[in-house]
Protein backbone atom coordinates (compact mmCIF):
# COMPACT_ATOMS: atom_id res chain seq x y z
CA UNK A 1 0.00 0.00 0.00
CA UNK A 2 1.32 3.45 -0.90
CA UNK A 3 2.25 5.84 1.87
CA UNK A 4 0.00 8.87 2.32
CA UNK A 5 1.03 12.47 1.65
CA UNK A 6 4.58 11.93 0.43
CA UNK A 7 6.62 14.15 -1.90
CA UNK A 8 6.45 11.32 -4.46
CA UNK A 9 2.66 11.12 -4.74
CA UNK A 10 1.74 11.15 -8.44
CA UNK A 11 5.28 12.17 -9.46
CA UNK A 12 7.14 10.69 -12.41
CA UNK A 13 10.37 9.24 -11.09
CA UNK A 14 13.28 7.97 -13.15
CA UNK A 15 15.09 5.03 -11.52
CA UNK A 16 18.34 3.67 -12.89
CA UNK A 17 20.65 1.04 -11.45
CA UNK A 18 22.20 -2.41 -11.71
CA UNK A 19 19.41 -3.78 -9.51
CA UNK A 20 16.75 -1.07 -9.75
CA UNK A 21 13.73 -3.09 -8.58
CA UNK A 22 14.01 -2.39 -4.79
CA UNK A 23 14.24 1.35 -5.39
CA UNK A 24 11.43 1.27 -7.95
CA UNK A 25 9.23 -0.59 -5.45
CA UNK A 26 10.07 1.95 -2.74
CA UNK A 27 9.00 4.75 -5.08
CA UNK A 28 5.82 2.88 -5.99
CA UNK A 29 4.90 2.30 -2.33
CA UNK A 30 5.35 6.02 -1.72
CA UNK A 31 2.87 6.86 -4.48
CA UNK A 32 5.37 7.63 -7.24
CA UNK A 33 5.34 6.50 -10.87
CA UNK A 34 8.66 4.72 -11.57
CA UNK A 35 10.30 4.73 -15.01
CA UNK A 36 13.08 2.19 -14.73
CA UNK A 37 16.35 1.21 -16.40
CA UNK A 38 17.54 -2.06 -14.83
CA UNK A 39 20.10 -4.73 -15.61
CA UNK A 40 18.30 -7.95 -14.67
CA UNK A 41 14.67 -7.62 -15.69
CA UNK A 42 13.48 -9.85 -12.83
CA UNK A 43 9.93 -11.14 -12.83
CA UNK A 44 8.78 -8.89 -9.96
CA UNK A 45 10.02 -5.67 -11.58
CA UNK A 46 6.89 -5.19 -13.69
CA UNK A 47 4.60 -4.71 -10.68
CA UNK A 48 6.83 -1.87 -9.42
CA UNK A 49 7.10 0.11 -12.65
CA UNK A 50 5.10 2.26 -15.01
CA UNK A 51 7.57 1.38 -17.74
CA UNK A 52 10.90 -0.44 -17.60
CA UNK A 53 13.76 -1.63 -19.75
CA UNK A 54 16.44 -4.19 -18.85
CA UNK A 55 19.88 -4.94 -20.24
CA UNK A 56 19.26 -8.69 -19.97
CA UNK A 57 16.29 -10.34 -21.64
CA UNK A 58 15.43 -13.26 -19.38
CA UNK A 59 13.17 -15.81 -21.02
CA UNK A 60 12.61 -19.47 -20.14
CA UNK A 61 15.45 -21.63 -21.36
CA UNK A 62 17.97 -18.84 -21.83
CA UNK A 63 19.26 -15.56 -20.55
CA UNK A 64 21.12 -12.99 -22.58
CA UNK A 65 24.70 -12.98 -21.30
CA UNK A 66 28.21 -12.09 -22.26
CA UNK A 67 28.67 -9.76 -25.22
CA UNK A 68 26.29 -6.89 -24.54
CA UNK A 69 28.03 -4.53 -26.97
CA UNK A 70 28.86 -2.05 -24.20
CA UNK A 71 29.79 -2.06 -20.51
CA UNK A 72 26.87 -2.42 -18.12
CA UNK A 73 26.93 1.20 -16.90
CA UNK A 74 26.80 2.48 -20.47
CA UNK A 75 23.99 0.07 -21.39
CA UNK A 76 21.97 1.20 -18.37
CA UNK A 77 22.31 4.88 -19.18
CA UNK A 78 21.73 4.44 -22.92
CA UNK A 79 18.62 2.34 -22.27
CA UNK A 80 17.31 5.01 -19.92
CA UNK A 81 17.83 7.79 -22.44
CA UNK A 82 16.40 5.68 -25.27
CA UNK A 83 13.13 4.99 -23.48
CA UNK A 84 12.72 8.03 -21.24
CA UNK A 85 14.83 10.72 -22.90
CA UNK A 86 11.75 12.80 -23.70
CA UNK A 87 9.72 11.95 -20.61
CA UNK A 88 9.25 14.86 -18.21
CA UNK A 89 10.51 13.46 -14.89
CA UNK A 90 10.02 15.08 -11.50
CA UNK A 91 12.90 13.19 -9.88
CA UNK A 92 15.76 10.98 -11.10
CA UNK A 93 17.18 8.48 -8.62
CA UNK A 94 20.48 6.62 -9.02
CA UNK A 95 21.17 3.12 -7.71
CA UNK A 96 24.24 0.90 -7.98
CA UNK A 97 26.41 0.38 -11.04
CA UNK A 98 27.86 3.87 -11.48
CA UNK A 99 30.14 4.40 -8.48
CA UNK A 100 33.31 4.45 -10.60
CA UNK A 101 31.58 5.24 -13.90
CA UNK A 102 29.87 8.55 -13.23
CA UNK A 103 30.70 9.91 -16.71
CA UNK A 104 27.88 7.68 -17.95
CA UNK A 105 25.44 9.83 -15.96
CA UNK A 106 26.46 13.23 -17.35
CA UNK A 107 23.85 13.29 -20.13
CA UNK A 108 21.08 12.12 -17.77
CA UNK A 109 22.07 14.79 -15.24
CA UNK A 110 21.98 17.46 -17.97
CA UNK A 111 18.58 16.38 -19.31
CA UNK A 112 16.74 15.45 -16.13
CA UNK A 113 18.87 16.53 -13.18
CA UNK A 114 19.99 13.85 -10.72
CA UNK A 115 18.06 14.04 -7.47
CA UNK A 116 20.88 13.74 -4.99
CA UNK A 117 24.57 13.94 -5.71
CA UNK A 118 25.88 15.55 -8.86
CA UNK A 119 28.45 13.75 -10.96
CA UNK A 120 31.18 15.92 -9.40
CA UNK A 121 30.09 15.03 -5.84
CA UNK A 122 29.98 11.32 -6.74
CA UNK A 123 33.49 11.49 -8.14
CA UNK A 124 34.72 13.24 -4.99
CA UNK A 125 33.30 10.45 -2.83
CA UNK A 126 35.24 7.86 -4.86
CA UNK A 127 38.57 9.71 -4.86
CA UNK A 128 40.78 7.29 -2.88
CA UNK A 129 43.42 9.88 -2.02
CA UNK A 130 40.82 12.30 -0.72
CA UNK A 131 39.08 9.56 1.27
CA UNK A 132 42.40 8.48 2.80
CA UNK A 133 42.96 12.03 4.05
CA UNK A 134 39.44 12.24 5.48
CA UNK A 135 39.87 8.88 7.22
CA UNK A 136 43.07 10.15 8.87
CA UNK A 137 41.35 13.40 9.85
CA UNK A 138 38.56 11.37 11.51
CA UNK A 139 41.09 9.13 13.27
CA UNK A 140 40.13 5.86 11.57
CA UNK A 141 42.10 3.53 9.34
CA UNK A 142 42.13 3.27 5.56
CA UNK A 143 43.85 0.41 3.69
CA UNK A 144 47.12 1.23 1.97
CA UNK A 145 46.81 0.58 -1.76
CA UNK A 146 48.75 0.93 -4.97
CA UNK A 147 48.00 0.56 -8.68
CA UNK A 148 50.14 -2.10 -10.40
CA UNK A 149 50.59 -2.75 -14.10
CA UNK A 150 51.83 -6.34 -14.06
CA UNK A 151 52.81 -9.39 -12.01
CA UNK A 152 56.24 -8.11 -11.01
CA UNK A 153 54.86 -4.81 -9.74
CA UNK A 154 52.16 -6.68 -7.82
CA UNK A 155 54.83 -8.87 -6.18
CA UNK A 156 56.90 -5.85 -5.18
CA UNK A 157 53.97 -4.03 -3.58
CA UNK A 158 52.85 -7.16 -1.75
CA UNK A 159 56.37 -7.57 -0.34
CA UNK A 160 56.11 -4.04 1.02
CA UNK A 161 52.61 -4.46 2.47
CA UNK A 162 53.07 -8.02 3.70
CA UNK A 163 50.86 -10.98 2.85
CA UNK A 164 47.98 -11.60 2.69
CA UNK A 165 46.91 -8.79 0.37
CA UNK A 166 43.88 -8.10 -1.76
CA UNK A 167 44.10 -7.60 -5.52
CA UNK A 168 41.16 -6.05 -7.32
CA UNK A 169 40.14 -4.40 -10.59
CA UNK A 170 40.59 -0.63 -10.88
CA UNK A 171 36.80 -0.39 -10.85
CA UNK A 172 34.42 -2.99 -9.47
CA UNK A 173 31.05 -3.37 -7.84
CA UNK A 174 29.56 -5.74 -5.31
CA UNK A 175 32.94 -7.31 -4.58
CA UNK A 176 33.25 -8.85 -8.04
CA UNK A 177 36.76 -9.68 -9.21
CA UNK A 178 38.44 -9.19 -5.82
CA UNK A 179 40.91 -11.87 -4.68
CA UNK A 180 42.78 -12.48 -1.44
CA UNK A 181 46.39 -13.44 -2.15
CA UNK A 182 48.22 -15.36 0.57
CA UNK A 183 51.32 -16.44 -1.36
CA UNK A 184 53.27 -15.57 -4.50
CA UNK A 185 52.49 -18.93 -6.18
CA UNK A 186 48.81 -18.03 -5.82
CA UNK A 187 49.52 -14.61 -7.32
CA UNK A 188 51.29 -16.19 -10.31
CA UNK A 189 48.34 -18.53 -10.87
CA UNK A 190 45.99 -15.54 -10.70
CA UNK A 191 47.96 -13.64 -13.35
CA UNK A 192 48.17 -16.71 -15.58
CA UNK A 193 44.37 -16.96 -15.49
CA UNK A 194 44.13 -13.26 -16.38
CA UNK A 195 46.43 -13.79 -19.34
CA UNK A 196 44.50 -16.82 -20.58
CA UNK A 197 41.22 -14.92 -20.41
CA UNK A 198 42.76 -11.78 -21.98
CA UNK A 199 41.99 -9.68 -18.90
CA UNK A 200 45.48 -8.39 -18.16
CA UNK A 201 45.71 -4.74 -17.22
CA UNK A 202 46.14 -2.42 -14.26
CA UNK A 203 45.01 -3.73 -10.88
CA UNK A 204 44.86 -2.36 -7.34
CA UNK A 205 46.87 -4.14 -4.65
CA UNK A 206 45.46 -3.33 -1.25
CA UNK A 207 46.21 -4.08 2.39
CA UNK A 208 44.00 -6.94 3.63
CA UNK A 209 41.88 -6.27 6.72
CA UNK A 210 40.07 -9.08 8.53
CA UNK A 211 37.02 -8.44 10.68
CA UNK A 212 33.28 -7.85 10.72
CA UNK A 213 31.91 -6.12 7.61
CA UNK A 214 29.43 -3.38 8.48
CA UNK A 215 27.84 -0.55 6.56
CA UNK A 216 26.19 2.71 7.53
CA UNK A 217 23.17 4.08 5.69
CA UNK A 218 23.37 7.85 5.96
CA UNK A 219 21.18 10.79 4.96
CA UNK A 220 22.89 14.02 3.94
CA UNK A 221 21.68 17.53 3.14
CA UNK A 222 25.02 18.72 1.76
CA UNK A 223 25.91 20.36 5.07
CA UNK A 224 24.37 18.14 7.77
CA UNK A 225 23.99 14.38 8.05
CA UNK A 226 22.21 11.70 10.04
CA UNK A 227 22.96 7.99 10.23
CA UNK A 228 19.79 6.11 9.40
CA UNK A 229 21.10 2.65 10.34
CA UNK A 230 24.17 0.49 10.88
CA UNK A 231 24.00 -3.10 9.67
CA UNK A 232 26.18 -6.12 9.04
CA UNK A 233 27.20 -6.81 5.47
CA UNK A 234 27.05 -10.44 4.35
CA UNK A 235 30.16 -11.01 2.23
CA UNK A 236 31.14 -14.23 0.42
CA UNK A 237 28.61 -16.27 2.38
CA UNK A 238 28.67 -20.05 1.65
CA UNK A 239 25.00 -20.45 2.65
CA UNK A 240 24.19 -17.85 -0.02
CA UNK A 241 26.01 -19.90 -2.64
CA UNK A 242 29.38 -18.11 -2.54
CA UNK A 243 32.72 -19.71 -1.67
CA UNK A 244 34.06 -17.31 0.96
CA UNK A 245 34.95 -14.64 -1.62
CA UNK A 246 34.29 -10.90 -1.48
CA UNK A 247 30.93 -10.82 -3.25
CA UNK A 248 28.10 -8.90 -1.58
CA UNK A 249 25.42 -11.31 -0.32
CA UNK A 250 23.11 -8.96 1.59
CA UNK A 251 22.73 -7.37 5.02
CA UNK A 252 21.29 -7.99 8.45
CA UNK A 253 20.18 -5.74 11.23
CA UNK A 254 20.99 -5.27 14.09
CA UNK A 255 24.72 -5.13 13.48
CA UNK A 256 26.85 -7.57 15.45
CA UNK A 257 29.28 -4.95 16.79
CA UNK A 258 28.84 -3.38 20.21
CA UNK A 259 27.12 -0.07 20.95
CA UNK A 260 30.38 1.81 21.43
CA UNK A 261 31.61 0.80 17.98
CA UNK A 262 28.24 1.64 16.44
CA UNK A 263 28.33 5.10 17.99
CA UNK A 264 31.81 5.69 16.59
CA UNK A 265 30.75 4.48 13.12
CA UNK A 266 27.69 6.71 13.33
CA UNK A 267 29.71 9.82 14.19
CA UNK A 268 32.40 9.17 11.58
CA UNK A 269 29.81 8.49 8.88
CA UNK A 270 28.04 11.76 9.55
CA UNK A 271 31.34 13.65 9.54
CA UNK A 272 32.44 12.10 6.23
CA UNK A 273 29.06 12.78 4.61
CA UNK A 274 29.07 16.43 5.66
CA UNK A 275 32.71 17.01 4.71
CA UNK A 276 32.04 15.61 1.23
CA UNK A 277 28.81 17.69 0.94
CA UNK A 278 26.85 14.60 -0.03
CA UNK A 279 23.07 14.67 -0.40
CA UNK A 280 20.32 12.12 0.03
CA UNK A 281 20.84 8.44 0.80
CA UNK A 282 24.44 7.20 0.77
CA UNK A 283 26.25 4.11 2.06
CA UNK A 284 29.62 3.81 3.78
CA UNK A 285 31.37 0.45 4.19
CA UNK A 286 33.69 -0.47 7.05
CA UNK A 287 35.52 -3.41 8.59
CA UNK A 288 35.71 -3.68 12.38
CA UNK A 289 38.63 -5.81 13.58
CA UNK A 290 38.67 -8.13 16.58
CA UNK A 291 40.53 -5.42 18.53
CA UNK A 292 37.82 -2.83 17.79
CA UNK A 293 39.77 -0.89 15.15
CA UNK A 294 37.56 0.68 12.47
CA UNK A 295 38.70 0.61 8.84
CA UNK A 296 36.94 2.66 6.18
CA UNK A 297 36.62 0.73 2.91
CA UNK A 298 34.56 2.89 0.56
CA UNK A 299 31.80 5.46 0.20
CA UNK A 300 28.88 4.77 -2.15
CA UNK A 301 27.16 8.09 -2.97
CA UNK A 302 23.80 6.55 -3.95
CA UNK A 303 21.06 4.20 -2.71
CA UNK A 304 22.32 0.96 -1.18
CA UNK A 305 21.42 -2.71 -1.28
CA UNK A 306 20.11 -2.43 2.29
CA UNK A 307 17.18 -0.21 1.20
CA UNK A 308 14.46 -2.86 1.05
CA UNK A 309 15.66 -4.55 4.24
CA UNK A 310 15.37 -1.27 6.14
CA UNK A 311 11.89 -0.63 4.80
CA UNK A 312 10.80 -4.11 5.85
CA UNK A 313 12.41 -3.70 9.29
CA UNK A 314 10.58 -0.42 10.05
CA UNK A 315 7.86 1.86 8.72
CA UNK A 316 10.12 4.18 6.74
CA UNK A 317 10.42 4.96 3.04
CA UNK A 318 14.07 5.39 2.10
CA UNK A 319 13.13 7.02 -1.21
CA UNK A 320 10.99 9.62 0.62
CA UNK A 321 13.74 10.26 3.17
CA UNK A 322 16.18 10.70 0.29
CA UNK A 323 13.98 13.36 -1.36
CA UNK A 324 13.48 15.16 1.96
CA UNK A 325 17.21 15.13 2.71
CA UNK A 326 17.92 16.60 -0.73
CA UNK A 327 15.47 19.35 0.23
CA UNK A 328 17.41 19.99 3.44
CA UNK A 329 15.24 18.04 5.89
CA UNK A 330 16.45 15.23 8.16
CA UNK A 331 14.33 13.07 10.51
CA UNK A 332 14.12 14.10 14.16
CA UNK A 333 15.49 10.71 15.20
CA UNK A 334 16.67 7.44 13.68
CA UNK A 335 13.99 4.77 13.19
CA UNK A 336 13.74 1.62 15.30
CA UNK A 337 14.19 -1.66 13.44
CA UNK A 338 13.10 -5.21 14.11
CA UNK A 339 15.67 -7.93 13.37
CA UNK A 340 15.76 -8.45 9.61
CA UNK A 341 18.01 -10.26 7.14
CA UNK A 342 18.34 -9.82 3.40
CA UNK A 343 20.30 -12.54 1.61
CA UNK A 344 21.08 -12.76 -2.10
CA UNK A 345 20.98 -16.37 -3.27
CA UNK A 346 23.63 -17.31 -5.84
CA UNK A 347 23.41 -20.54 -7.83
CA UNK A 348 25.81 -23.11 -6.36
CA UNK A 349 25.72 -24.97 -9.68
CA UNK A 350 24.44 -24.56 -13.23
CA UNK A 351 20.70 -25.10 -13.28
CA UNK A 352 17.20 -23.90 -14.10
CA UNK A 353 15.30 -21.44 -11.92
CA UNK A 354 12.26 -22.95 -10.17
CA UNK A 355 9.00 -21.12 -9.44
CA UNK A 356 10.30 -18.70 -6.81
CA UNK A 357 6.80 -17.59 -5.84
CA UNK A 358 6.66 -20.81 -3.79
CA UNK A 359 8.80 -18.89 -1.27
CA UNK A 360 6.82 -15.73 -0.40
CA UNK A 361 9.79 -13.95 1.17
CA UNK A 362 11.77 -13.99 -2.11
CA UNK A 363 12.24 -10.87 -4.23
CA UNK A 364 14.43 -10.04 -7.24
CA UNK A 365 13.05 -13.26 -8.70
CA UNK A 366 14.75 -14.60 -11.80
CA UNK A 367 11.96 -15.80 -14.09
CA UNK A 368 10.98 -19.46 -13.82
CA UNK A 369 12.73 -21.65 -16.37
CA UNK A 370 15.69 -19.31 -16.90
CA UNK A 371 19.02 -21.10 -17.05
CA UNK A 372 21.62 -19.81 -14.60
CA UNK A 373 25.31 -20.56 -14.29
CA UNK A 374 27.14 -21.29 -11.06
CA UNK A 375 27.61 -17.99 -9.23
CA UNK A 376 24.68 -16.21 -10.88
CA UNK A 377 22.22 -14.46 -8.55
CA UNK A 378 18.87 -16.26 -8.46
CA UNK A 379 16.81 -14.12 -6.06
CA UNK A 380 16.96 -12.36 -2.71
CA UNK A 381 15.28 -13.42 0.54
CA UNK A 382 14.04 -10.93 3.15
CA UNK A 383 12.76 -12.11 6.53
CA UNK A 384 11.96 -10.27 9.78
CA UNK A 385 11.20 -11.47 13.30
CA UNK A 386 11.84 -10.92 16.97
CA UNK A 387 15.07 -12.90 17.25
CA UNK A 388 17.99 -12.11 14.90
CA UNK A 389 19.46 -15.63 15.13
CA UNK A 390 16.14 -17.27 14.25
CA UNK A 391 15.60 -14.83 11.38
CA UNK A 392 19.03 -15.57 9.92
CA UNK A 393 18.55 -19.32 10.32
CA UNK A 394 15.21 -19.12 8.50
CA UNK A 395 16.81 -17.26 5.61
CA UNK A 396 19.59 -19.85 5.39
CA UNK A 397 16.98 -22.63 5.34
CA UNK A 398 15.05 -21.01 2.48
CA UNK A 399 18.29 -20.51 0.55
CA UNK A 400 19.09 -24.22 0.92
CA UNK A 401 15.60 -25.18 -0.31
CA UNK A 402 15.99 -23.00 -3.42
CA UNK A 403 19.46 -24.43 -4.14
CA UNK A 404 18.00 -27.96 -4.00
CA UNK A 405 15.46 -27.06 -6.70
CA UNK A 406 17.98 -25.58 -9.17
Asked if the structure places residue 246 within a domain, the reply is: yes
pLDDT score of 3 more than 90: no
Residue 198's pLDDT band, with cuts at 50, 70 and 90, is confident
Q: What backbone phi and psi angles, to 5 degrees, belong to 66?
A: 75, -120
Asked if the structure places residue 129 within a domain, the reply is: no
Per-residue pLDDT, 68: 57
d(CA 331, CA 276): 20
Number of structural domains (the chain) is 3
d(CA 88, CA 84): 8
Lowest-confidence segment of 54-63, 129-138, 207-216 by average pLDDT: 54-63
Q: What backbone phi and psi angles, to 5 degrees, belong to 377?
A: -70, 140
Please classify residue 194 by burial: count the beta carbons closer than 10 Å to its beta carbon, then call 0-12 exposed, 13-18 middle and 19+ buried: middle
Domain end position, chosen among 115, 130, 158: 115
Per-residue pLDDT, 359: 98
Residue 63's pLDDT band, with cuts at 50, 70 and 90, is low
Per-residue pLDDT, 66: 47
d(CA 386, CA 377): 28
Residues 252 and 339 grouped into a single domain: yes
Per-residue pLDDT, 398: 98
d(CA 112, CA 101): 18
**CA-atom Rg of the chain in angstroms:** 20
d(CA 126, CA 105): 15
Preceding peptide of 164 cis, ω within 30°: yes
* pLDDT one-digit tens code per residue, 316-355: 999 999 999 999 999 999 999 999 999 999 999 999 999 9
Asked if the structure places residue 133 within a domain, the reply is: no
Residues contacting 74, CB < 8 A, separation 6+: 101, 104
Give residue 203's domain range: 144-207
Lowest-confidence segment of 58-72, 252-266, 289-303 by average pLDDT: 58-72
Residues 162 and 281 grouped into a single domain: no
Domain end position, chosen among 70, 98, 115: 115
Asked if the structure places residue 122 within a domain, the reply is: no
Residues 242 and 343 grouped into a single domain: yes
The average confidence (pLDDT) of the chain is 94
d(CA 283, CA 300): 5
SS3 category, 238: helix
Asked if the structure places residue 138 within a domain, the reply is: no
SS3 category, 388: helix
Residue 330: give its domain's CATH number.
3.30.470.20
Residues 240 and 341 grouped into a single domain: yes
Residues 235 and 199 grouped into a single domain: no
Residues 278 and 358 grouped into a single domain: yes
Q: What backbone phi and psi angles, to 5 degrees, belong to 140?
A: -125, 170
d(CA 246, CA 168): 10
Asked if the structure places residue 123 within a domain, the reply is: no
Residues 234 and 354 grouped into a single domain: yes
Residues 293 and 227 grouped into a single domain: yes
Residue 42: give its domain's CATH number.
3.40.50.20
Asked if the structure places residue 125 within a domain, the reply is: no
Q: What does the pLDDT average to over 380-399?
A: 98
Residues contacting 376, CB < 8 A, separation 6+: 346, 347, 366
Per-residue pLDDT, 246: 93
Domain end position, chosen among 207, 240, 259: 207
Residues 178 and 248 grouped into a single domain: no
Asked if the structure places residue 128 within a domain, the reply is: no
Per-residue pLDDT, 2: 52
Residues 200 and 229 grouped into a single domain: no
Contact 301, 99 (CB under 8 A): yes
Provide the edge-to-edge strand list for the sheet that holds 225-235. Answer: 294-300, 279-288, 212-221, 225-235, 248-253, 340-346, 377-384, 362-363
Residues 188 and 161 grouped into a single domain: yes
Residues 245 and 197 grouped into a single domain: no
Residue 152: give its domain's CATH number.
3.30.1490.20
62 or 323, which is more confident: 323
Q: What does the pLDDT average to over 109-118?
A: 96
d(CA 30, CA 14): 14
* pLDDT one-digit tens code per residue, 354-373: 999 999 999 999 999 999 99
Region at 375 (left for phi over 0; alpha for psi -120 to 50; beta for the rest): left
Residues contacting 292, CB < 8 A, separation 6+: 260, 261
Amino acid sequence: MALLHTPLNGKKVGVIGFNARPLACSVRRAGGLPYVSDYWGDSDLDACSEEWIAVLSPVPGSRQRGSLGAPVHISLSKNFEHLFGYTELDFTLIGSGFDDHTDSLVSIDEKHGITGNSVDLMQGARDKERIAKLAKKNDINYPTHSIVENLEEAKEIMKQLGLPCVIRPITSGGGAGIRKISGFKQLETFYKALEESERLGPRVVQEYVSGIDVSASVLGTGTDAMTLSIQDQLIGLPSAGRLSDFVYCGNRIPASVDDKIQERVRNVSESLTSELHLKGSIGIDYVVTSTGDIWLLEINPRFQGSLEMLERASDISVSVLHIQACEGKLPDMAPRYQPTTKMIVYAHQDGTVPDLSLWPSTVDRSPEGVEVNQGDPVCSIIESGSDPIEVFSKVESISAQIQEKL
